[in-house]
């Protein structure tokens, strides 16, 4: 069994497309665009044949793995070889990838939930709101970056905000020129029927129902575009989970962190 480092190529994307066809729920956009996209990709070879691929981050965390159907019986062997070769010591995988997830679960030394992922019931919401959720422009970018740094500790030095603004997928809610909330509405390139919604509410304006109002507005926006809304939040963000569920979402899968070695 060999693991060959590679960049994200047409061959990798073709294999990834096959994986996405098998998922029991859509893949989270933040997970896909920030974590998986920045990980090291490997072709998995057996007897000089490419049988799949995997993605591993700099901490030795397996983030994604896929084998062609006729090689699924080798999943346990492949993951065991990844552990033995010290390429991985842990995995962060979604329950929507049952073959790899169940294999890592059977090999795990410990497991903890990381991210709750949600799908929508795909029916419009009856929104009673006076909030003005408007598209962000280039002129808003500096203020948005300050907001993200202050509110969630995100130091956007890699063009994340610029990309979403240029794609017309970043929205803001302002009050007297103060950003009280931001919202992303990301149209997935890899999942053409999916849009991923994200919301951050200014700490000074939380517990006022703003997150739920913005979420419902964005849900209707996505449905009008003939896409299906998804979103996600962390285990500890109970307030976000409540706003999400009030807006018609249900938990479709969970990303778990699994320790695969004793160290």
| pLDDT per residue as tens digits for the range 37-71 | 999 999 999 999 999 999 999 999 999 999 999 99
- Residue intervals of the chain classified under CATH 3.40.630.30 are 122-247
pLDDT digits (tens, 9 = 90+) for 125-174: 998 888 999 999 999 999 999 999 999 999 988 888 999 999 999 999 99
Closest CA to 196 of 47, 30, 4, 13: 30
Q: Which residue stretches of the chain are H helix? A: 10-22, 29-30, 75-84, 98-107, 141-152, 160-166, 210-224, 238-246
Give the pLDDT band of residue 262 (cuts 50, 70, 90): confident
Mean pLDDT, the chain, whole residue set: 94
Domain 122-247 has CATH 3.40.630.30: yes
pLDDT band at 101 (very low <50, low <70, confident <90, very high): very high
> Cα separation of 19 and 14, whole Å?
9
Exposed (0-12), middle (13-18) or buried (19+): which is 90, by Cβ within 10 Å? buried
pLDDT value, residue 26? 95
Q: Number of H helices and number of E strands within the chain?
A: 8, 12
Q: State what percent of residues in the chain have pLDDT above 70.
A: 100
Give the integer Cα–Cα distance in Å for 43 and 67: 10
Q: Which two tokens stand for residue 124?
A: 């419009």
Which residues does 254 contact at the CB level (< 8 Å), separation at least 6?
Answer: 94, 95, 113, 114, 115, 116, 117
Looking at residue 255, its pLDDT comes to: 96
pTM confidence score? 0.90
Burial status of residue 177 (CB atoms within 10 A of its CB: 0-12, 13-18, 19 or more): exposed
Q: Where does the pLDDT of residue 263 fall: very low under 50, low under 70, confident under 90, or very high at 90 and above?
A: low
Give the least confident one: 7-11, 126-130, 240-244.
Answer: 126-130
CATH code for the part of the protein at 2-114 = 3.40.630.80
pLDDT of residue 115: 94
Percent helix, strand and coil across the chain, each to the nearest 5: 35, 35, 30
Domain with CATH 3.40.630.80 in the chain: 2-114
Q: Is the pLDDT of residue 252 over 70?
A: yes
């Amino acid at each position: 069994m060999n693991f060959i480092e590679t960049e994200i190529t047409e061959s990798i994307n073709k294999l990834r497309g096959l994986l996405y066809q098998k998922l029991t729920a859509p893949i989270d956009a933040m997970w896909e665009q920030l974590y998986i996209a920045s990980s090291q990709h490997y072709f998995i070879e057996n007897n000089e044949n490419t049988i799949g691929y995997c993605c591993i981050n700099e901490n030795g965390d397996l983030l994604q793995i896929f084998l062609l159907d006729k090689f699924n019986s080798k999943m346990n062997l492949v993951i065991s070889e990844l552990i033995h070769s010290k390429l991985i010591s842990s995995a962060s995988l979604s329950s929507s990838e049952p073959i790899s997830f169940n294999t890592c679960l059977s090999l795990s030394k410990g497991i903890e939930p990381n991210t709750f992922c949600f799908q929508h019931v795909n029916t419009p919401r009856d929104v009673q709101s006076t909030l003005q959720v408007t598209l962000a422009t280039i002129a808003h970018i500096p203020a948005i970056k300050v907001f993200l740094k202050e509110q969630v500790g995100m130091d956007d030095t890699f063009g994340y905000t610029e990309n979403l603004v240029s794609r017309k997928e970043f929205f803001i809610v302002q009050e007297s020129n103060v950003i009280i909330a931001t919202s992303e509405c990301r149209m997935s390139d890899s999942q053409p029927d999916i849009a991923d919604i994200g919301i951050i509410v200014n700490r000074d304006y939380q517990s006022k129902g703003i997150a739920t109002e913005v979420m419902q507005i964005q849900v209707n926006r996505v449905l009008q575009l003939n896409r299906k809304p998804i979103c996600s939040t962390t285990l500890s963000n109970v307030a976000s989970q409540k706003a999400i569920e009030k807006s018609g979402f249900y938990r479709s899968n969970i990303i778990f962190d699994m320790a695969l070695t004793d160290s």
